[in-house]
Amino acid sequence: MAELTNLETKLGEVLGLAMAAQGATEKVKGLDEIDGDLTKTLERMHNEAKQAEERATDVAGSFEGKKTAILEEAREVKKKATEMMQDYLDSDSDALDGFEFLTMAEAGEVGHWEILKTLNERARDSGVQELVEWGIPIQQRHLEQVRQGSLKLAAEEDPNETS
């Protein structure tokens, strides 16, 4: 397997998180107490995660001879992120648990995308540049939306109820 640069590895990580985000939004959509607005938010996020996967895969393909290794890195990250989700969310999990998990996951995505951007300030790859300019505002919006979603669900919860 071809050796990856730090930039290529980070691209693989961003790609893997975009893959995992599709599973996570799907999973949370199926939890109890998810209303129509939250469903719409999750569907849009799912869609944008799919676009991120496609765009990042295209950029991976622009690195001569590295695509397979970048995708391998991505699948590894997807696996770890999916395992984290499965540990965090069990059969007792409700919508608030789901949105709390997404808040962690989206914060992680924002972080990774910004790190990719910073690495690319010296690498100056035009494909990566276009990708991060497209993706960072979207990931920031995702984080804000899941944060607002958790707070909305928390406000509806009775703090004195026993679970």
**Contact track, Fe ion, 124-163, x by CB under 5 A:** ---------------x--x---------------------
Distance separating alpha carbons of residues 63 and 61, to the nearest angstrom:
5
Token couple for 56: 């990042």
Check residue 14 and give left, alpha or beta (phi > 0: left; psi -120 to 50: alpha): alpha
- CB of 116: closest distance to Fe ion in angstroms? 14
**Nearest 5°: phi and psi at 65?**
75, 5
- CB of 105: closest distance to Fe ion in angstroms? 7
Burial of 7 (0-12, 13-18, 19+ CB in 10 A): middle
**Nearest 5°: phi and psi at 144?**
-65, -40
Q: Which of residues 89-128 bind Fe ion (CB under 5 A)?
A: 106, 109
Return the residue nearest Fe ion (CB atom). Answer: 142
- CB of 45: closest distance to Fe ion in angstroms? 6
**Contact track, Fe ion, 2-41, x by CB under 5 A:** -------------------x--------------------
Residues in contact with Fe ion by the rule CB under 5 A: 21, 106, 109, 139, 142
